[in-house]
């Protein structure tokens, strides 16, 4: 499956703190929340969107 005609969206993330599981939480420019489920163990974060922002 290709994504022809789709624009790439670059997310600008701002660190806002940690959740109750000590996962880093970020907010993007659209006010969506993202969590680093890799707990910062790697050079690149393993981001997943948070449900029920």
Rounded distance, CA 4 to CA 18, Å?
37
Domain limits for position 31? 14-49
Give this prediction's pTM.
0.73
pLDDT at residue 26 above 80?
A: yes
Mean pLDDT, residues 20-42: 87
Mean pLDDT, residues 26-48: 86
Residue 8 lies in a domain: no
Mean pLDDT, residues 13-41: 89
Residue 1 lies in a domain: no
Q: Which two tokens stand for residue 46?
A: 């393993």
When divided into structural domains, the chain yields a total of: 1
Query: What pLDDT score does 29 carry?
Result: 95
Q: Per-residue confidence at 1, pLDDT binned at 50, 70, 90?
A: low
Contact 11, 36 (CB under 8 A): no
Could you identify the residue written with the tokens 């701002």?
14
Residue 3 lies in a domain: no
Residues 6 or more apart whose CB falls under 8 angstroms from that of 11 comprise 28, 29, 34
CB neighbours of residue 23 within 10 Å: 18
């Amino acid at each position: 499956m290709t994504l022809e005609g789709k624009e790439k969206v670059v997310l600008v993330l701002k660190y806002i703190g940690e959740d109750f599981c000590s996962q880093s939480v970020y907010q993007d420019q659209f006010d969506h929340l993202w969590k680093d489920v890799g707990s910062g163990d790697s050079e690149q974060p393993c981001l997943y969107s948070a449900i029920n922002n």
